[in-house]
């Protein structure tokens, strides 16, 4: 049987494809720089090239680090580094953390070489053990670095950051945002997540905190407070789109007022803040979302609300609303937020 003939695309289909490509080819403002290893080491030492905290815990195994140094000594080509310029003019590492950390470790004599295949005579050597000529050659090797400008569209920056990192370490959505968004809105979110009252009311575990949980909760408060009714099911995508829109235009003053007012109300009327009990040292996301956004919505309707009745916190209905099953569905999110809102307004 002869294969079916491939249908040629119509002019209408090609025009639609062309329009989509042009629409997505937003300006990616970047530059390509080339530095010798000696200069890169100096820039790292001065923190002019810096690795964000959330990436530092991911360490290559020793064998991989030694093989990378072997490649540099041999003069083999290595992948580009990828950085993004921050507002203060420094380079934040987006891709290349392990390579840079390995270089610094070796140049500071903290990495004795092991299990080399091509250069097995160098096994047990540290940088200072290399012949002088080889040390000079290594320090003069060039590495290329793609630098994404701070002028890049926020959605482009996030897209590039996510695509580069998707093949390596799995980062949390909050870690992606911290690396991808350098605009005023996300900086505002990070500042709110460091607010002392918020930290008291909404403690998170140490490991979660390292991976951006406080910023995640703060962002959820702002996003759900404005557009929780539009949420369907994909939290990360929903929040990313919200940040991108806010980076283009937002008014900080009312957001800050809403956040402060909500935290102050919670501090005055909730015996354990957003926690389940006094002894618990972590705050469930569904519980925080329900209570914080519910308080905000209730205060919108009744700014003078004073309510010391918190019996609803121990009710079977509230527990049902804040169980984890299907917690990220649109109906469940709306149900738990509106339950708290109505409980507060009804008690008032």
pLDDT at 168: 52
Cα–Cα dist 196/204, whole Å? 13
Compute the half-sphere exposure of residue 199: CA atoms within 13 Å on the CB side of its CA: 10
pLDDT value at 281 more than 70: yes
**Range 71-76 average pLDDT:** 93
pLDDT value at 222 more than 90: yes
Indicate the SS3 state at residue 40: helix
Of 74, 71, 69, 94, nearest to 84 by C-alpha is 94
Indicate the SS3 state at residue 147: strand
Q: What are the DSSP E strand ranges found in the chain?
A: 30-36, 49-50, 81-85, 91-95, 142-148
Beta strands 30-36 and 142-148, pairing class: antiparallel
Q: pTM (2 decimals)?
A: 0.60
pLDDT at 63: 92
**Range 135-150 average pLDDT:** 90
pLDDT tens for residues 83-134? 888 878 899 888 888 899 999 999 999 999 999 989 999 999 999 999 999 9
Cα–Cα dist 264/171, whole Å? 32
More confident position, 170 or 182: 182
pLDDT at 208: 83
pLDDT at 138: 96
- The distance from CA 272 to its chain's CA centroid, rounded to whole angstroms, is 28
Cα–Cα dist 169/54, whole Å? 11
pLDDT tens for residues 24-37? 666 566 788 999 99
Beta bridge partners of 242: none
Indicate the SS3 state at residue 79: coil
Cα–Cα dist 298/196, whole Å? 24
Is the Cα torsion angle 72, 77, 83, 85 positive or negative in sign?
positive
pLDDT value at 167 more than 60: no
* Pair 290, 342: CB distance under 8 Å: no
**Range 58-73 average pLDDT:** 89
pLDDT value at 55 more than 70: no
What share of the chain has pLDDT > 90, as a percent?
Answer: 40
Indicate the SS3 state at residue 303: coil
pLDDT value at 213 more than 60: yes
**Range 284-307 average pLDDT:** 90
**Range 43-49 average pLDDT:** 94
């Amino acid at each position: 049987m002869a294969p079916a003939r491939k249908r040629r695309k119509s002019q209408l289909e090609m025009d639609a494809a062309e329009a989509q490509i042009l629409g997505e080819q937003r300006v990616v403002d970047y530059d390509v720089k080339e530095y010798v290893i000696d200069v890169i080491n100096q820039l790292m030492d001065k923190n002019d090239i810096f690795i964000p905290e959330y990436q530092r815990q991911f360490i290559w195994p020793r064998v991989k680090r030694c093989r990378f140094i072997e490649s540099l000594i041999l003069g083999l080509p290595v992948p580009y580094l990828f950085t993004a310029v921050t507002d203060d003019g420094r380079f934040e590492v987006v891709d290349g953390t392990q390579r840079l950390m390995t270089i610094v470790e070796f140049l500071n004599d903290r990495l004795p070489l092991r299990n080399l295949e091509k250069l097995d005579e160098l096994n047990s050597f540290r940088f200072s053990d290399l012949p002088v000529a080889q040390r000079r050659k290594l320090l003069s090797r060039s590495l290329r670095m793609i630098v994404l400008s701070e002028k890049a569209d926020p959605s482009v920056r996030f897209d590039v950051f996510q695509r580069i990192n998707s093949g390596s370490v799995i980062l949390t959505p909050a870690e992606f945002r911290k690396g991808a968004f350098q605009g005023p809105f996300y900086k505002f979110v990070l500042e709110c997540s460091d607010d002392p009252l918020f930290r008291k009311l909404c403690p998170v575990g140490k490991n979660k905190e390292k991976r951006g949980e406080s910023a995640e909760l703060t962002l959820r408060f702002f996003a759900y407070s404005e557009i929780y009714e539009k949420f369907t099911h994909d939290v990360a995508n929903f929040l990313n789109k919200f940040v991108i829109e806010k980076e283009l235009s937002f008014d900080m003053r009312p957001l800050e007022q809403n956040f402060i007012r909500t935290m102050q109300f919670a501090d005055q009327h909730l015996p354990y803040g957003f926690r389940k009990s006094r002894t618990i040292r972590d705050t469930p996301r569904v519980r925080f979302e329900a209570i914080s956004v519910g308080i905000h919505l209730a205060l919108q309707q009744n700014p003078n609300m004073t309510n010391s009745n918190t019996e609803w916190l121990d009710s079977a209905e509230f527990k049902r609303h804040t169980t984890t099953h299907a917690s990220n569905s649109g109906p469940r999110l709306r149900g738990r937020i509106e339950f708290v809102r109505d409980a507060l307004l009804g008690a008032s």
